[in-house]
A and B are shown apart, each in its own frame.
Chain A
Amino acid sequence: MTSVLPKTRQDDEHSMVIVRRRHPWRWAGWVAAAVIVVSVAVSFLTNPNYQWGIVAGYLFDRRILDGLLTTLKLTAVSMAIATVLGLVLATMRLSDSRLLRGMAGAYVWLFRGTPILVQLILWYNLAILVPQVRLGVPSGPTLWSAETNDLITPWTAAILGLALNEAAYLGEIIRSGIISVDKGQTEAANALGMSRLVTFRRIVLPQALRVIVPPASNEAIGLLKYSSVVSVIALPELLYSGQLIYGRTYETIPILLVVCIWYLVVVTALTMLESRLERRLGVGFRPTGHGLSRDRRWARWLTGNR
């Protein structure tokens, strides 16, 4: 072994100590954050106008909990319907058929292009436009008919409005997820003789879900909160239940705090669910390790894998 450097010099180079860059501003940031947190906390605790006693009293109030349940049901049912409908819309928009593409495009254009508030009011007042719903041959025999006013309750109007509106957004999210999957995947599945359904469910969807889940969770959280617009058709969900109470007692701030606490609780739960879902769908895409077996089982269940 010959060395290009003098012996002592080389030894020095091998044993150099590395001093990492200092980050003084990070410390300043921590201090500033601590000051803000403490002062907000102090204000929360010492300012009597928050009326925490009243907040505690209403936190588990029957009417508030009923409202919370209504909000959760509205969100879950609307989201479920919107997901199915969104999947149909996405498939239509990606279809070879110009008719299907056009129909889905028109749907998205209409429901994304008009305010949800207006849609809700129109659904609720559907009887004005269409007094009677009738199934049968046009200008022929009727198989089934009903008064629109019997069908449209505040509940059905709310679900219709929220789900049909949300489907337009979810359809676009699902479509973007599907087109994000490399075309080679479908081609490889085709070359193996897999049917369209198998290719979609087993090959494309599991990969598309990685792209779909984050914005779809965003939509779910958004839906949870804007479901409060159904108060315009007198359906007492969480926010409206609160409003009904403070409309009589004038304890506006504490009751709004109660409402916010419940929204935060639910959103926190949804966020945790989302990050778990994301982790589980990332199996095979992570740089190291082979993924937890529990993560895999979950992802499998989602995509109908045995």
Chain B
Amino acid sequence: MADRQPLVRLRGIRKRFGSHEVLRGVDLDVQPGEVMCLIGASGSGKSTLLRCVNHLETPDSGRVVVDGDLVGYTERDGKLYELPERQIRAQRARIGMVFQHFHLFPHLTALENVREAPMRVHRHSKATATATALDLLDRVGLAAKADAYPRHLSGGQQQRVAIARGLAMRPQLMLFDEPTSALDPELVGEVLDVMRDLAAQGMTMIVVTHEMGFAREVASQVAFMSDGQIVERGTPADVLGRPAHERTRSFLSKVL
């Protein structure tokens, strides 16, 4: 596994908001087909790191490489030049993202939410995009809700539509930013089930989560972040079961 080319390669990612340095030189590799769970306390930089992967957040230094492509920049004469927006958009279109608060488009139905980007970005015909969207809604168990507006769906259903929307772009990589944190407890399971299926089908995923059960069961790798750095990473059995660092132990003792 280690000799394969990683799908995601982060090197020396730094990011500062005002005087606060949120990311302090993060290195991380994610192999194709892996599920990488990022855990850590609020404010440890997990979400910011995730948002750097698709350039929603621009790192102050360091490089993000997805599938061999430097994200957001091009390298010439030892300098990184910011890419034109059109190329950044093309890179983002290959990376799906699911947000904590879903961010579904409220004026569009579930079906329209899912088919909008394929139609507008990939210029798929309405018929093709609709067929794909219905298929994806079926995969997340919401075929019957295709014509419902987000506000008429439960939080769990909305998040499943959001996952279908991300998948509609046929991404190589899916990013999940605390996908279940805004959900009522009884709705968490249905979203995790969809994510588990996705992982089983070999989708490469980076998941920022507080669901230790999910991490233990589904993750191939777990990385524990604290103060803008990755303190410890390894298999779930190692990081969650036999943490090597005091900070990891102390965090786990609070959340488990």
Tell me the smallest distance from the CB of B148 to a CB of chain A, in Å.
Answer: 7
Name the contact of A185 in the complex, choosing from B105, B149, B152 (C-beta under 8 A). Answer: B105
Q: Which of B16-62 contact A (CB under 8 A)?
A: 54, 56
Tell me the smallest distance from the CB of B89 to a CB of chain A, in Å.
Answer: 5
How far apart are the CA atoms of A189 and B117 in the complex, in Å? 8
From B69-77, B93-101, B212-220, B230-238, the one touching the partner chain is B93-101
**Contacting pair B99 A193 (CB below 8 A):** no
**Contacting pair A193 B107 (CB below 8 A):** no
How many residues from A make CB contacts under 8 Å with B? 26
Q: With a CB–CB cut-off of 8 A, which chain A residues contact B147?
A: 290
> 1/0 per residue A200-211: CB within 8 Å of B?
001100110000
A188: Cβ under 8 A from any B Cβ: yes
Nearest to A284 among chain B residues (CB) is: B149
Number of inter-chain CB pairs below 8 Å:
82
B245: Cβ under 8 A from any A Cβ: no
**Contacting pair B106 A207 (CB below 8 A):** yes
Nearest to B106 among chain A residues (CB) is: A284
Name the contact of B165 in the complex, choosing from A184, A192, A285 (C-beta under 8 A). Answer: A192
**Which bracket fits the contact residues of B?**
35 or more
Name the contact of B93 in the complex, choosing from A192, A283, A287 (C-beta under 8 A). Answer: A192
**Contacting pair B106 A202 (CB below 8 A):** no
Q: With a CB–CB cut-off of 8 A, which chain B residues contact A198?
A: 120-121
21 pairs, CB–CB < 8 Å, chain A vs chain B: A182-B103, A190-B92, A191-B56, A191-B92, A191-B96, A192-B92, A192-B116, A193-B121, A194-B89, A194-B116, A198-B120, A206-B107, A207-B106, A283-B107, A284-B149, A284-B150, A284-B151, A287-B151, A290-B147, A290-B149, A299-B107
Q: Which residues of A contact B (CB under 8 A)?
A: 182, 184-185, 187-196, 198, 202-203, 206-207, 283-285, 287, 290-291, 299, 306
Q: Which residues of B contact A (CB under 8 A)?
A: 54, 56, 85-86, 89-90, 92-97, 99, 101, 103-109, 116-117, 119-121, 126, 147-152, 165-166, 169
